[in-house]
Amino acid sequence: MYKFEILTEDVNRDRIIAEVSKFFDGFSVVPMIGFWERKQEKSLNIMIIAMYDERANVRRLANSIQSINDQESVMVLASQIDILE
């Protein structure tokens, strides 16, 4: 399993959540403070747990969020994780 994280500015939160819901049934949205070019901004970390083969959907989602927020880029992180049962 993988944890995918999409980091973006915290604007249009309701639209972003609606967009993530089109791609994934379960996810977390964590508000945080980020810095870009030494300026503080409200940010979101969208966390999705999925199989690695879902990375194309994560990339499509990130592109969509980038468009919604009219940003030059968004950051996507992928980390392999273990699920303890």
For 21-63, what is each residue's pLDDT tens digit?
A: 999 999 999 999 999 899 999 999 999 999 999 999 999 999 9
CA 8 – CA 43 distance, rounded (Å): 6
Q: Check whether 85 has a pLDDT greater than 90.
A: no
Residue 23 near residue 60 (C-beta atoms within 8 A): yes
For position 83, what pLDDT does the model report? 84
> Which amino acid, one-letter code, is at 37?
E
Q: Considering the entire predicted model, what is its pTM?
A: 0.94
Residue 61 confidence (pLDDT): 98
Looking up residue 48, the CATH number of its domain turns out to be 3.30.70.120
- Structural domains counted in the chain: 1
- Is 28 part of any domain? yes
- Residue-level pLDDT at 84: 87
pLDDT at 73: 93
Q: Are 78 and 8 in contact (CB under 8 A)?
A: no
- φ/ψ of residue 42, rounded to 5: -75, 135
Q: Is the pLDDT assigned to residue 19 strictly greater than 90?
A: yes
The residue range of the domain holding 37 is 2-80
Let me know if residue 85 belongs to a domain.
no
How far apart CA 79 and CA 2 sit, in angstroms, is: 5
> What distance in Å separates the CA atoms of residue 26 and residue 57, rounded to the nearest whole number?
14
